[in-house]
């Protein structure tokens, strides 16, 4: 999967056909924040505020901020992780799974979203569906900083056997 930083585009020169221009823009990995001229510094400030709300257990407010962030830049993985975490803390596991699914699509080899998705699956009682995902996490955890995810996946897998 390509790094989203390398595939984001700035708005292209309009052709005069609004519908065609919009379709072309988004088909070339365009995001609303760029179309609207929102700077990365503003996005970083919004993310910091959302993260702070989450840390302060204000999941409803954080969820609104992460939803806005995901809308403005649907290619930024950390926004989907934050939104998924809010839904997970509210015990809305099915919606959290969808958010983690987007994060997995954006960076498949990162094990964190896979593990969070497994936690949601287990909370929903989907033990059999979680097992192959846990085995997949073990295969993904090759880097040293992935060891905590690997250990948790091993522990969960042994409990499910």
Q: How far apart are CA 71 and CA 83, in angstroms?
A: 11
58: containing domain: 1-92
pLDDT value, residue 8: 47
Distance CA 22, CA 14 (A): 9
Which domain CATH number covers 79?
Answer: 1.25.40.10
How far is the C-alpha of 132 from the C-alpha of 144, rounded, in Å?
22
- The whole-number pLDDT of residue 11 equals 53
Q: Could you list the mean pLDDT of each consecutive 10-residue stretch along the chain, which spans 161 residues? A: 44 69 78 90 98 98 98 97 98 98 96 97 97 95 91 94 82
Sequence-separated (6 or more) residues with CB below 8 Å from residue 71: 32
Two structure tokens written together for 116: 């969070």
Please provide residue 56's backbone torsions phi and psi, each rounded to the nearest 5 degrees: -90, 15
Q: Are 96 and 81 in contact (CB under 8 A)?
A: no
Q: How far apart are CA 114 and CA 122, in angstroms?
A: 12
Q: 92, 124, 146: which is the final residue of a domain?
A: 92
Is position 34 within any domain?
A: yes
Q: How high is the pLDDT of residue 82?
A: 98
pTM, full prediction = 0.85
Q: Pick from 36, 61, 92: which residue ends a domain?
A: 92
């Amino acid at each position: 999967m390509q790094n989203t930083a390398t595939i984001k585009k700035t708005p292209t020169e309009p052709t005069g056909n609004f519908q065609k221009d919009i379709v072309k823009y988004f088909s070339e990995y365009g995001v609303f924040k760029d179309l609207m001229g929102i700077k990365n510094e503003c996005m970083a400030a919004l993310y910091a505020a959302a993260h702070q709300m989450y840390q302060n257990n204000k999941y409803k407010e954080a969820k609104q901020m992460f939803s806005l962030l995901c809308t403005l830049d649907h290619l930024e993985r950390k926004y989907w992780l934050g939104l998924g975490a809010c839904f997970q803390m509210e015990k809305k596991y099915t919606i959290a799974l969808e958010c983690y699914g987007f994060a997995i699509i954006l960076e498949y080899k990162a094990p964190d979203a896979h593990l969070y998705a497994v936690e949601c699956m287990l909370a929903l009682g989907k033990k059999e569906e979680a097992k192959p995902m846990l085995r997949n996490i073990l295969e993904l955890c090759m880097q040293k900083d992935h060891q905590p995810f690997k250990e948790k996946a091993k522990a969960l897998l042994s409990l499910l056997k």
